[in-house]
Amino acid sequence: MNPRRISKTIKIGNVAIGGGAPVVVQSMTKTDTRDARATIEQIKELEDCGCELIRVAVPDAEAARAIVDIKKGISIPLVADIHFDYRLALTALESGADGLRLNPGNIGEPEKVKAVAIAARERGAPIRIGLNAGSLPKTDNPNLNVAERMVEAALEQIRLLESLDFDLIKVSLKAFDVPTTIEAYQAIAENMPYPLHIGITEAGTPRTGVIRSTVGIGTLLWLGIGDTIRVSLTAHPREEVVAGYEILKSLNLRQRGPVLVSCPTCGRAEADVVKLAEAVEARLQKIDKPIRVAVMGCVVNGPGEAKDADVGIACGKGKGVIFKKGEKVAVVEEKDFLTALMKEVEGL
Protein backbone atom coordinates (compact mmCIF):
# COMPACT_ATOMS: atom_id res chain seq x y z
CA MET A 1 0.00 0.00 0.00
CA ASN A 2 1.31 3.47 -0.84
CA PRO A 3 2.20 5.73 2.08
CA ARG A 4 -0.66 8.06 2.88
CA ARG A 5 -0.61 11.45 1.24
CA ILE A 6 -0.05 13.99 3.99
CA SER A 7 -2.39 16.93 3.51
CA LYS A 8 -3.00 19.97 5.63
CA THR A 9 -5.07 19.21 8.71
CA ILE A 10 -8.48 20.74 9.27
CA LYS A 11 -10.75 20.29 12.26
CA ILE A 12 -14.48 19.93 11.99
CA GLY A 13 -15.65 20.38 15.56
CA ASN A 14 -13.31 18.10 17.50
CA VAL A 15 -12.58 15.76 14.58
CA ALA A 16 -9.26 16.14 12.77
CA ILE A 17 -9.20 15.41 9.05
CA GLY A 18 -6.01 15.03 7.02
CA GLY A 19 -2.41 15.43 8.05
CA GLY A 20 -2.09 11.76 8.92
CA ALA A 21 -5.13 11.63 11.25
CA PRO A 22 -7.10 8.36 11.12
CA VAL A 23 -9.43 8.16 8.11
CA VAL A 24 -12.79 9.49 9.34
CA VAL A 25 -16.05 7.64 8.63
CA GLN A 26 -18.99 9.89 7.87
CA SER A 27 -22.54 9.67 6.64
CA MET A 28 -25.53 11.82 5.77
CA THR A 29 -28.96 11.82 7.36
CA LYS A 30 -31.98 10.79 5.30
CA THR A 31 -34.58 12.46 7.48
CA ASP A 32 -36.20 15.83 6.86
CA THR A 33 -33.71 18.17 8.56
CA ARG A 34 -36.59 20.41 9.64
CA ASP A 35 -37.77 17.52 11.81
CA ALA A 36 -35.09 17.92 14.48
CA ARG A 37 -36.36 15.06 16.61
CA ALA A 38 -36.26 12.47 13.80
CA THR A 39 -32.89 13.77 12.64
CA ILE A 40 -31.40 13.55 16.13
CA GLU A 41 -32.75 10.02 16.49
CA GLN A 42 -31.09 8.94 13.26
CA ILE A 43 -27.78 10.62 14.16
CA LYS A 44 -27.75 8.95 17.60
CA GLU A 45 -28.20 5.60 15.90
CA LEU A 46 -25.30 6.39 13.58
CA GLU A 47 -23.13 7.50 16.51
CA ASP A 48 -23.78 4.10 18.09
CA CYS A 49 -22.35 2.32 15.07
CA GLY A 50 -19.28 4.56 14.93
CA CYS A 51 -20.20 7.46 12.62
CA GLU A 52 -17.75 10.28 13.37
CA LEU A 53 -19.13 13.15 11.29
CA ILE A 54 -22.64 13.79 10.03
CA ARG A 55 -23.95 15.88 7.15
CA VAL A 56 -27.50 17.15 6.88
CA ALA A 57 -29.25 18.58 3.83
CA VAL A 58 -30.21 22.23 4.22
CA PRO A 59 -32.78 22.94 1.51
CA ASP A 60 -34.38 25.97 3.20
CA ALA A 61 -34.13 28.43 6.09
CA GLU A 62 -36.25 26.27 8.40
CA ALA A 63 -33.79 23.40 7.94
CA ALA A 64 -30.87 25.77 8.60
CA ARG A 65 -32.50 26.97 11.83
CA ALA A 66 -33.29 23.40 12.94
CA ILE A 67 -29.53 22.85 13.30
CA VAL A 68 -29.71 24.73 16.63
CA ASP A 69 -31.90 22.00 18.11
CA ILE A 70 -30.18 19.13 16.31
CA LYS A 71 -26.80 20.17 17.70
CA LYS A 72 -28.16 20.03 21.25
CA GLY A 73 -29.09 16.37 20.83
CA ILE A 74 -25.98 14.93 19.20
CA SER A 75 -22.31 14.37 20.06
CA ILE A 76 -20.57 14.32 16.68
CA PRO A 77 -19.77 17.38 14.51
CA LEU A 78 -22.35 18.43 11.94
CA VAL A 79 -21.80 19.63 8.38
CA ALA A 80 -24.53 21.60 6.58
CA ASP A 81 -25.02 20.71 2.91
CA ILE A 82 -25.90 23.87 0.98
CA HIS A 83 -26.66 24.58 -2.64
CA PHE A 84 -27.11 27.92 -4.39
CA ASP A 85 -28.33 30.15 -1.53
CA TYR A 86 -25.52 31.73 0.48
CA ARG A 87 -28.00 32.91 3.13
CA LEU A 88 -28.64 29.28 4.07
CA ALA A 89 -24.91 28.87 4.69
CA LEU A 90 -24.88 31.93 6.94
CA THR A 91 -27.93 30.75 8.90
CA ALA A 92 -26.48 27.22 9.22
CA LEU A 93 -23.27 28.66 10.66
CA GLU A 94 -25.20 30.90 13.06
CA SER A 95 -27.17 27.79 14.10
CA GLY A 96 -23.97 26.00 15.05
CA ALA A 97 -22.95 23.97 11.99
CA ASP A 98 -19.33 22.84 12.41
CA GLY A 99 -18.66 22.86 8.68
CA LEU A 100 -20.23 23.46 5.29
CA ARG A 101 -20.39 21.51 2.08
CA LEU A 102 -21.01 23.75 -0.87
CA ASN A 103 -19.77 24.67 -4.30
CA PRO A 104 -18.57 28.27 -4.28
CA GLY A 105 -19.23 28.14 -8.03
CA ASN A 106 -22.98 27.82 -7.58
CA ILE A 107 -23.27 30.44 -4.83
CA GLY A 108 -23.03 33.24 -7.37
CA GLU A 109 -21.45 36.66 -6.99
CA PRO A 110 -18.03 36.92 -5.29
CA GLU A 111 -19.55 39.13 -2.56
CA LYS A 112 -21.82 36.26 -1.48
CA VAL A 113 -18.96 33.75 -1.41
CA LYS A 114 -16.95 36.30 0.53
CA ALA A 115 -19.70 36.67 3.14
CA VAL A 116 -19.78 32.88 3.63
CA ALA A 117 -15.98 32.64 3.81
CA ILE A 118 -15.80 35.40 6.44
CA ALA A 119 -18.53 33.82 8.58
CA ALA A 120 -16.97 30.35 8.29
CA ARG A 121 -13.50 31.63 9.15
CA GLU A 122 -14.81 33.49 12.22
CA ARG A 123 -16.25 30.22 13.50
CA GLY A 124 -13.35 28.01 12.41
CA ALA A 125 -15.80 26.06 10.24
CA PRO A 126 -14.22 24.32 7.21
CA ILE A 127 -15.84 24.30 3.79
CA ARG A 128 -15.88 21.21 1.61
CA ILE A 129 -15.80 22.02 -2.05
CA GLY A 130 -17.97 19.14 -3.18
CA LEU A 131 -18.03 18.59 -6.93
CA ASN A 132 -20.13 15.95 -8.63
CA ALA A 133 -19.57 14.78 -12.21
CA GLY A 134 -23.26 15.29 -12.95
CA SER A 135 -23.31 19.01 -12.16
CA LEU A 136 -20.09 20.49 -13.48
CA PRO A 137 -19.78 24.11 -14.53
CA LYS A 138 -19.22 24.86 -18.22
CA THR A 139 -15.64 24.69 -19.42
CA ASP A 140 -13.82 26.68 -22.09
CA ASN A 141 -11.76 23.62 -23.02
CA PRO A 142 -13.78 21.02 -24.99
CA ASN A 143 -10.85 18.58 -24.93
CA LEU A 144 -11.06 17.88 -21.20
CA ASN A 145 -12.59 14.61 -20.03
CA VAL A 146 -14.95 14.46 -17.04
CA ALA A 147 -12.16 13.82 -14.51
CA GLU A 148 -10.13 16.71 -15.86
CA ARG A 149 -13.16 18.98 -15.79
CA MET A 150 -13.81 18.09 -12.15
CA VAL A 151 -10.20 18.90 -11.28
CA GLU A 152 -10.27 22.14 -13.23
CA ALA A 153 -13.48 23.26 -11.50
CA ALA A 154 -12.20 22.28 -8.04
CA LEU A 155 -8.90 24.13 -8.49
CA GLU A 156 -10.78 27.22 -9.62
CA GLN A 157 -12.99 27.10 -6.53
CA ILE A 158 -10.01 26.50 -4.26
CA ARG A 159 -8.33 29.58 -5.74
CA LEU A 160 -11.49 31.58 -5.16
CA LEU A 161 -11.56 30.66 -1.43
CA GLU A 162 -7.82 31.22 -1.08
CA SER A 163 -8.20 34.68 -2.63
CA LEU A 164 -10.59 35.40 0.23
CA ASP A 165 -7.90 34.32 2.69
CA PHE A 166 -9.79 31.14 3.52
CA ASP A 167 -7.90 27.86 3.78
CA LEU A 168 -10.05 25.59 5.95
CA ILE A 169 -10.75 23.60 2.83
CA LYS A 170 -11.62 20.00 2.07
CA VAL A 171 -12.33 18.72 -1.43
CA SER A 172 -14.38 15.95 -3.00
CA LEU A 173 -14.69 15.01 -6.68
CA LYS A 174 -17.29 12.29 -6.99
CA ALA A 175 -18.61 10.42 -9.98
CA PHE A 176 -20.66 7.25 -10.37
CA ASP A 177 -17.98 5.97 -12.74
CA VAL A 178 -15.17 4.47 -10.66
CA PRO A 179 -12.23 4.97 -13.08
CA THR A 180 -13.28 8.61 -13.56
CA THR A 181 -13.41 9.13 -9.80
CA ILE A 182 -10.00 7.56 -9.26
CA GLU A 183 -8.43 9.57 -12.08
CA ALA A 184 -9.86 12.82 -10.70
CA TYR A 185 -8.69 12.20 -7.12
CA GLN A 186 -5.22 11.15 -8.24
CA ALA A 187 -4.85 14.36 -10.23
CA ILE A 188 -6.15 16.71 -7.55
CA ALA A 189 -4.11 15.00 -4.82
CA GLU A 190 -0.93 16.10 -6.56
CA ASN A 191 -2.08 19.63 -7.18
CA MET A 192 -3.29 21.04 -3.89
CA PRO A 193 -2.51 20.58 -0.18
CA TYR A 194 -5.99 20.13 1.32
CA PRO A 195 -7.55 16.97 2.73
CA LEU A 196 -9.81 14.83 0.55
CA HIS A 197 -13.27 13.48 1.24
CA ILE A 198 -13.61 10.40 -0.97
CA GLY A 199 -16.57 8.38 -2.19
CA ILE A 200 -18.48 7.14 -5.19
CA THR A 201 -21.64 9.11 -5.73
CA GLU A 202 -25.07 7.53 -6.18
CA ALA A 203 -23.42 4.12 -5.84
CA GLY A 204 -26.74 2.28 -5.64
CA THR A 205 -28.40 -0.20 -3.33
CA PRO A 206 -26.29 -2.12 -0.80
CA ARG A 207 -25.96 -5.18 -3.02
CA THR A 208 -24.14 -3.35 -5.81
CA GLY A 209 -23.35 -0.02 -4.17
CA VAL A 210 -21.11 -1.50 -1.50
CA ILE A 211 -19.04 -3.26 -4.18
CA ARG A 212 -18.79 -0.15 -6.37
CA SER A 213 -17.88 2.00 -3.37
CA THR A 214 -15.37 -0.51 -2.09
CA VAL A 215 -13.59 -0.72 -5.44
CA GLY A 216 -13.40 3.08 -5.71
CA ILE A 217 -12.69 4.00 -2.09
CA GLY A 218 -10.47 0.97 -1.53
CA THR A 219 -8.34 1.69 -4.59
CA LEU A 220 -7.88 5.32 -3.58
CA LEU A 221 -6.96 4.38 -0.02
CA TRP A 222 -4.50 1.83 -1.36
CA LEU A 223 -2.93 4.65 -3.37
CA GLY A 224 -2.60 6.64 -0.14
CA ILE A 225 -5.43 9.04 -1.05
CA GLY A 226 -8.37 9.90 1.19
CA ASP A 227 -8.81 11.47 4.62
CA THR A 228 -12.51 10.89 5.21
CA ILE A 229 -14.93 8.53 3.50
CA ARG A 230 -18.62 8.36 2.85
CA VAL A 231 -20.19 5.29 1.30
CA SER A 232 -23.32 6.55 -0.51
CA LEU A 233 -26.04 3.92 -0.51
CA THR A 234 -29.73 3.82 -1.30
CA ALA A 235 -30.35 2.44 2.17
CA HIS A 236 -30.47 3.39 5.84
CA PRO A 237 -27.30 5.40 6.60
CA ARG A 238 -26.32 2.76 9.17
CA GLU A 239 -25.38 0.59 6.18
CA GLU A 240 -23.07 3.36 4.95
CA VAL A 241 -21.23 3.55 8.26
CA VAL A 242 -20.89 -0.23 8.58
CA ALA A 243 -19.59 -0.48 4.99
CA GLY A 244 -17.17 2.40 5.62
CA TYR A 245 -15.59 0.64 8.56
CA GLU A 246 -15.42 -2.67 6.72
CA ILE A 247 -13.46 -0.99 3.93
CA LEU A 248 -11.04 0.56 6.43
CA LYS A 249 -10.74 -2.67 8.40
CA SER A 250 -9.99 -4.61 5.21
CA LEU A 251 -6.99 -2.36 4.57
CA ASN A 252 -5.92 -2.39 8.24
CA LEU A 253 -6.44 1.37 8.38
CA ARG A 254 -8.90 1.36 11.28
CA GLN A 255 -10.06 -1.17 13.81
CA ARG A 256 -13.60 -1.12 15.08
CA GLY A 257 -15.50 -4.03 16.50
CA PRO A 258 -14.93 -7.67 15.57
CA VAL A 259 -13.86 -9.13 12.24
CA LEU A 260 -15.71 -12.30 11.24
CA VAL A 261 -13.78 -14.90 9.28
CA SER A 262 -16.11 -17.51 7.84
CA CYS A 263 -15.44 -20.16 5.24
CA PRO A 264 -17.52 -20.22 2.04
CA THR A 265 -18.53 -23.84 2.84
CA CYS A 266 -18.18 -26.63 0.31
CA GLY A 267 -18.97 -30.31 -0.10
CA ARG A 268 -16.87 -31.05 3.00
CA ALA A 269 -19.01 -28.91 5.31
CA GLU A 270 -20.53 -30.93 8.10
CA ALA A 271 -22.83 -28.24 9.55
CA ASP A 272 -25.02 -25.37 8.35
CA VAL A 273 -22.18 -22.83 8.27
CA VAL A 274 -24.21 -20.14 6.47
CA LYS A 275 -26.85 -20.14 9.21
CA LEU A 276 -24.26 -20.22 11.99
CA ALA A 277 -22.10 -17.45 10.45
CA GLU A 278 -25.14 -15.20 9.97
CA ALA A 279 -26.22 -15.74 13.57
CA VAL A 280 -22.69 -15.02 14.83
CA GLU A 281 -22.47 -11.89 12.68
CA ALA A 282 -25.73 -10.58 14.12
CA ARG A 283 -24.52 -11.16 17.67
CA LEU A 284 -21.12 -9.58 16.96
CA GLN A 285 -22.76 -6.32 15.91
CA LYS A 286 -23.35 -5.54 19.56
CA ILE A 287 -19.69 -6.03 20.49
CA ASP A 288 -17.09 -3.24 20.33
CA LYS A 289 -13.92 -5.25 20.95
CA PRO A 290 -11.53 -5.41 17.95
CA ILE A 291 -11.34 -9.20 17.87
CA ARG A 292 -11.23 -11.85 15.16
CA VAL A 293 -13.84 -14.60 15.24
CA ALA A 294 -13.78 -17.59 12.88
CA VAL A 295 -16.61 -19.90 11.80
CA MET A 296 -15.30 -22.83 9.77
CA GLY A 297 -17.24 -25.68 8.24
CA CYS A 298 -15.11 -28.78 8.66
CA VAL A 299 -12.21 -30.37 10.43
CA VAL A 300 -10.00 -30.42 7.30
CA ASN A 301 -9.21 -26.73 6.85
CA GLY A 302 -11.24 -25.36 9.75
CA PRO A 303 -8.90 -25.79 12.71
CA GLY A 304 -6.08 -23.74 11.12
CA GLU A 305 -8.22 -20.62 10.64
CA ALA A 306 -10.08 -21.19 13.89
CA LYS A 307 -6.79 -21.33 15.80
CA ASP A 308 -5.54 -18.10 14.20
CA ALA A 309 -8.60 -16.20 15.40
CA ASP A 310 -9.17 -14.93 18.94
CA VAL A 311 -12.12 -17.30 19.10
CA GLY A 312 -13.07 -19.86 16.46
CA ILE A 313 -15.11 -22.92 15.78
CA ALA A 314 -14.30 -25.79 13.44
CA CYS A 315 -17.56 -27.64 12.89
CA GLY A 316 -17.50 -31.42 12.58
CA LYS A 317 -20.27 -33.97 12.19
CA GLY A 318 -22.67 -33.28 15.06
CA LYS A 319 -19.84 -31.76 17.12
CA GLY A 320 -17.57 -28.74 16.88
CA VAL A 321 -14.22 -27.79 18.34
CA ILE A 322 -13.91 -24.34 19.89
CA PHE A 323 -10.54 -22.60 19.93
CA LYS A 324 -9.56 -19.58 21.98
CA LYS A 325 -6.26 -17.79 21.34
CA GLY A 326 -5.02 -20.83 19.44
CA GLU A 327 -5.89 -23.35 22.15
CA LYS A 328 -8.63 -25.95 21.94
CA VAL A 329 -10.98 -25.12 24.83
CA ALA A 330 -14.12 -27.17 24.22
CA VAL A 331 -15.89 -29.76 22.11
CA VAL A 332 -19.59 -28.93 21.83
CA GLU A 333 -22.78 -30.42 20.44
CA GLU A 334 -24.20 -28.94 17.22
CA LYS A 335 -27.18 -27.40 19.02
CA ASP A 336 -24.76 -25.46 21.26
CA PHE A 337 -22.42 -24.10 18.54
CA LEU A 338 -23.71 -20.51 18.73
CA THR A 339 -24.04 -20.18 22.49
CA ALA A 340 -20.69 -21.85 23.20
CA LEU A 341 -18.85 -19.69 20.66
CA MET A 342 -20.46 -16.48 21.92
CA LYS A 343 -19.71 -17.40 25.53
CA GLU A 344 -16.01 -17.47 24.67
CA VAL A 345 -16.29 -14.22 22.67
CA GLU A 346 -17.98 -12.45 25.54
CA GLY A 347 -15.39 -13.75 27.97
CA LEU A 348 -12.46 -12.17 26.10
Measured CA to CA, the distance from residue 81 to residue 111 in angstroms comes to 20
State which of positions 142-201 bind ligand SF4 (CB under 6 A). none
Per-residue exposure over 270-292, b if at least 16 CB sit within 10 Å of its own CB, e if not: bbebeebbebbeebbeeeeeebe
Measured CA to CA, the distance from residue 284 to residue 121 in angstroms comes to 43
Measured CA to CA, the distance from residue 175 to residue 146 in angstroms comes to 9
Q: Are 191 and 150 in contact (CB under 8 A)?
A: no
Measured CA to CA, the distance from residue 123 to residue 121 in angstroms comes to 5
Question: In the chain, which ranges are E strands?
Answer: 10-12, 15-17, 24-28, 53-57, 78-81, 99-102, 127-132, 169-174, 197-198, 228-229, 259-262, 292-296, 311-315, 319-324, 327-333
- Minimal CA–CA distance to 300: which of 278, 267, 325, 329? 267
Site string for ligand SF4, 30-49 (x = CB under 6 A): --------------------
Among 25, 28, 298, 311, binds ligand SF4 (CB under 6 A): 298
Across the beta sheet with 99-102, what order do the strands follow? 169-174, 127-132, 99-102, 78-81, 53-57, 24-28, 228-229, 197-198
Site string for ligand SF4, 213-252 (x = CB under 6 A): ----------------------------------------
Decide whether 206 or 316 has the Cβ nearer to ligand SF4: 316
Residue 266 is a binding residue for ligand SF4 (CB under 6 A): yes
Decide whether 131 or 306 has the Cβ nearer to ligand SF4: 306
Size of the site for ligand SF4 (CB under 6 A): 12
Min dist. Cβ of residue 313 to ligand SF4 (A): 11
Decide whether 1 or 266 has the Cβ nearer to ligand SF4: 266
Residue 300 is a binding residue for ligand SF4 (CB under 6 A): yes
Residue 275 is a binding residue for ligand SF4 (CB under 6 A): no
Output the CA angle 289-343-279, nearest 5 degrees. 80
Residue 9 is a binding residue for ligand SF4 (CB under 6 A): no
Min dist. Cβ of residue 293 to ligand SF4 (A): 15
Decide whether 68 or 269 has the Cβ nearer to ligand SF4: 269
Residue 301 is a binding residue for ligand SF4 (CB under 6 A): yes
Among 21, 269, 274, 329, binds ligand SF4 (CB under 6 A): 269
Among 302, 303, 312, 320, binds ligand SF4 (CB under 6 A): 302
Decide whether 317 or 325 has the Cβ nearer to ligand SF4: 317
Min dist. Cβ of residue 282 to ligand SF4 (A): 20
Give the number of other CB atoms < 10 A from CB of residue 53: 23
The single-letter DSSP state of residue 235 is: S
Strands 15-17 and 24-28: unpaired
Min dist. Cβ of residue 305 to ligand SF4 (A): 7
Among 122, 207, 252, 264, binds ligand SF4 (CB under 6 A): 264
Contacts with ligand SF4, residue ranges (CB under 6 A): 263-266, 268-269, 296-298, 300-302
